[in-house]
Chain A
Amino acid sequence: MRSKFKLWSFAAALLLVAGMMLTACGPTATTSTSGPTKGGHITDGLFEEPDSLLPQQSIETYADLVDATIWAPLFYGDNTGIIQAGLAKEVPSATNGGISADAKTYTIHLRPNLKWSDGSPLTSDDVAFTLNLMKNPAYGAKTTASEFAKIATVTASDPSTVVITLSTPDVAFLALALTDPLGFAPLPKSVYGSMDPASIAKSDQNFQPTVVSGPFTIKERVKADHITVVRNPNYYQAGKPYLDQITFQIITDQNTILTQLQSHAIDTSWFLDINKLDQYKAIQGYKVVLDKAPGSFEAIYFNMKNPFLADLQVRKAITMGINVQPIIQNIWKGIAVPTCDDSVGTFAHEPSLIPCYTFNAAGAKQLLESDGFTMGSDGYYTKGGKTLELRYSTTAGKAYREQTETIVQDQLKQIGIKIDIVNHPADYYFGTQLYDYSAYDIAEFANSLGYDPDNHTQWACNQFTTAGGFNISAYCNPTVDAAINTELTNPDINARKAAFHTIHTQILQDIPVMYYYSAPDISCANAKLQNYSPSPAGPSETWNVWDWYLSK
């Protein structure tokens, strides 16, 4: 009898647990409208642990995210993709004389009275030292070393002026090499000047820099656990940051990040899982924040070395046979938006090109038949005795991509094209597979160009992967090459916009790529946290961390 009671109790407990798990959470709290208040601690859940906290020593966004709290860059990008002045007094341009007409000389003026966190002066000498350090292969700059390699000379003409001369014209130099802390932030010469450049990445400074310039300084770092930063009293923006302390807690599991948010153990987390969007929305006292302007785009690239895909009619039929709407609505729950160019999040983005693809399955079949394809008994088209069969590759383990390719596989089956899904681990895919034209036919992945729309490594005729570039479509068009030359060498923004328009429209005609959508990154934050508005590029979540404050 006693045991029976225990069984009933166990069953009742199970029912109770199931009931609790099914109970919906409360509504999202509203945000406060009161002005900035100083003080307060917050905790941010980081999905990856930063490997290095020195500029150019990591390629991780999560490193950039923490870097933005401790390093002040010369320039930073805001959440609309516009470059703003950081330590520099203003953003150099052709108009204000900061960029020479030949796009080879950049003159940068620093703000007055800049200081390192230890109170010592931050001068142009530190900037020049760091630029030369980044240029040195022994330092091992990991993100945009190719930009630093173009530096011919760096001169600190006075304590607040730096003149950089490039060996070749580069209008994107400012955006690619000098913007955001992961790209470039001056290092204190007093600390790093006496170190062997090759030993810096192996030093304790790589793990926990001691003298910094950002809004915060590192109070404590425990490997694999957390990084705590506290207010830097010598930060150049007087009165900022508003928060006293931020702790970055390393939580490398999306389910645990969700439970930490639900239990209010962390205040914010960035780059969250689309499949949990409804659960984030249901957390009481928290808000879901999407990028103001998405900066990345998902696309499929056609390998034109494949005889079928070398045929424009086949590529066109594929774009007519794929309906992106179910992917946007069902997988991305309506938060993704279509795009018809690769310049999303930059000044060259052209929403006016949308829509660029028309779903028309019957038309796609007619197009293939007029191109000489005949329907086989298995429901797939053939030509020259070969079935129209293509390998579709993407990164393994990404649920939304795997769902997308299943939808696409089904849609293309309807127009007689057989798709074989061949996925790979991300590192192998990006590191090896995409550099081998014989390894894929259609490749899907997301790309983000940052603050400058230049994407010549993907479209220029001299950028085939066999030549060291990233032209994975094996695409070549002299019109596009001419426009690329203009956008790479002309510092005038209107001339560049026109060049990008030419590139965009020509690519839509030639179809080496089909753009699926542009999706925002998802963040969830304590509703009391104000000015929290992640950027699609650079340090993303923390681009304006000095402005964050907790409302009362």
Chain B
Amino acid sequence: MRRYVIRRLIQAVVMLFVMSIGLFLLIHAMPGGPDAVLFSPRMTAATRANLRHQYGLDQPLIQQYLSWLKSVLTGNLGFSFASGQPVAAEIGARIPATLELFAVSLSFALVVAILLGVISAVRQYSLTDYSVTVLSYFGIAMPVFFFALIMQEIFGVKLGWLPTCCRTSADTTGFTAFENFQDAVIHLIMPAVVLSFLFIAGWSRYLRSSMLDVVKQDYIRTAKAKGLASRSVFFGHALRNALIPLLTQVAIDVGAVFGGAVITETIFAWPGLGKLFYNSLQARDYPVLLSMLLLGAASVIVFNLLADVLYAVIDPRIRYS
């Protein structure tokens, strides 16, 4: 196993290097550039030249890439073209918000997906199963932005129960620590539910299918033949085995965390990585974009590896040589 992990890590480094070249070229191939977005037509030629020099945009592309790679390898992600702030600070400031949103929505999604998946499998072809199936397809088909708008309209505008945006209230002057916590929780509910909806829909279908596969296995038949109660058969044997592929899927989905949830974060004005990515794309902020894309790629690679390792740890039948 150790050799397998080391080999995968070495592959990951090579893959990231190749991806960094691809992403660098892709970003520079986008129409427009930071000059067009950030510079004013009334800027003097001297100032324009000076800024291009400061940003390193006056160097040949290969030189720009090598300079960027060198500084990344020394732990310096550079400075944002748009804000002038260090890229590490820009990204670092957004990580807590995105982690908070993902942690809550993925946890919620996992619990609900397991419940729905199990119920659906246990009562296969029942009205409940059909209802869950319809709702799941509804969840998969429903565009996130539209679902978010409906939620905002109902729970934010009409009922006034939940805030329609942001991580906290705009004015928290005089709030106690508990009130601040309460404020944060209430702001988290709607974006977390919206983000979890897609995961619930997908994962519950995954678990249902996995459960249906497992219940047909010989060891389940044996367990039943031994006279174990249905509850014990389902939860003690079937569910535990059915969860194995789901957990690997969850691990892979968690890997997307560093890409942020662009749509959800934009609609709910959530100050996370997704929103930063969107803004940086608009501004052609190359240093931020490159760092985020690479971080996202690294995260996907690491969580994929984690999923593979997890699979072997949970399922003793799996062996990596």
A-to-B contact residues, CB < 8 Å: 3-4, 6-7, 17, 20-21, 23, 41, 43, 49, 51-52, 57, 59, 137-138, 140-147, 149, 176, 198, 201-203, 206-207, 222-226, 228, 245, 247, 249-253, 255-256, 259-260, 262-263, 265-266, 424-425, 427-428, 430-432, 457, 468, 470
Select the stretch in B175-183, B240-248, B262-270 that faces chain A: B262-270
Residues in B neighbouring A260, C-beta threshold 8 A: 164-165
Complex CA gap A432/B131 in Å reads 53
Closest residue to A139 on the B side, CB-wise?
Answer: B47
Closest residue to A198 on the B side, CB-wise?
Answer: B54
Complex CA gap A147/B163 in Å reads 46
Judging by beta carbons under 8 Å apart, are B46 and A137 in contact?
A: yes
Judging by beta carbons under 8 Å apart, are B171 and A263 in contact?
A: no
B38 at interface, CB cutoff 8 A: yes
Judging by beta carbons under 8 Å apart, are B271 and A222 in contact?
A: yes
B-to-A contact residues, CB < 8 Å: 31-33, 35-47, 49-51, 54, 79, 82-86, 90, 93-94, 97, 126-128, 131, 149-150, 152-154, 156-158, 160, 163-171, 173, 266-269, 271-272, 275-276, 278-279, 282-284
Closest residue to A17 on the B side, CB-wise?
Answer: B154
| Sample of 23 A–B contacts (CB below 8 Å) | A3-B127, A20-B153, A23-B158, A52-B84, A140-B54, A142-B38, A142-B40, A146-B44, A147-B42, A198-B54, A202-B84, A224-B94, A224-B276, A225-B271, A228-B171, A250-B269, A250-B271, A252-B266, A255-B149, A256-B164, A259-B156, A265-B170, A432-B31
- Known interface pairs A21-B153, A225-B166, A252-B279; A431-B50 also in contact (CB < 8 Å): no
Judging by beta carbons under 8 Å apart, are A263 and B157 in contact?
A: yes
Closest residue to B149 on the A side, CB-wise?
Answer: A255
Q: Apart from A43-B171, A222-B271, A427-B31, what 16 extra A-B contacts exist at CB < 8 Å?
A: A7-B131, A17-B154, A140-B47, A142-B38, A224-B97, A224-B279, A249-B165, A252-B269, A253-B266, A256-B164, A259-B156, A259-B164, A427-B32, A427-B33, A431-B35, A432-B36
Closest residue to A57 on the B side, CB-wise?
Answer: B84
Option from B84, B279, B283 in Cβ contact (under 8 Å) with A201: B84
Judging by beta carbons under 8 Å apart, are A41 and B31 in contact?
A: no
Complex CA gap A140/B164 in Å reads 38
**Nearest CB in chain B: distance from A307 CB, A:** 27
Residues in B neighbouring A245, C-beta threshold 8 A: 171, 173
Judging by beta carbons under 8 Å apart, are B47 and A224 in contact?
A: no
Option from A17, A41, A140, A431 in Cβ contact (under 8 Å) with B171: A41
Judging by beta carbons under 8 Å apart, are A149 and B37 in contact?
A: no
Judging by beta carbons under 8 Å apart, are A143 and B154 in contact?
A: no
Judging by beta carbons under 8 Å apart, are A265 and B275 in contact?
A: no
Residues in A neighbouring B33, C-beta threshold 8 A: 427, 431
Residues in B neighbouring A207, C-beta threshold 8 A: 83-85
Closest residue to A430 on the B side, CB-wise?
Answer: B36
Complex CA gap A363/B84 in Å reads 56
Judging by beta carbons under 8 Å apart, are A6 and B131 in contact?
A: yes
Option from A138, A249, A255, A431 in Cβ contact (under 8 Å) with B36: A431
Closest residue to A4 on the B side, CB-wise?
Answer: B127
Complex CA gap A265/B32 in Å reads 37
Judging by beta carbons under 8 Å apart, are B153 and A259 in contact?
A: yes
Residues in B neighbouring A4, C-beta threshold 8 A: 127
Residue from A57, A202, A203, A256 whose CB has the most chain B CB atoms within 10 Å: A256
Judging by beta carbons under 8 Å apart, are B36 and A428 in contact?
A: yes
Complex CA gap A140/B158 in Å reads 48
Complex CA gap A439/B159 in Å reads 51
Option from A43, A49, A137, A431 in Cβ contact (under 8 Å) with B170: A43
Complex CA gap A207/B79 in Å reads 13
- Known interface pairs A247-B170, A250-B269; A206-B157 also in contact (CB < 8 Å): no
Residues in B neighbouring A265, C-beta threshold 8 A: 163-165, 169-170
Judging by beta carbons under 8 Å apart, are A20 and B154 in contact?
A: yes
Complex CA gap A29/B175 in Å reads 30
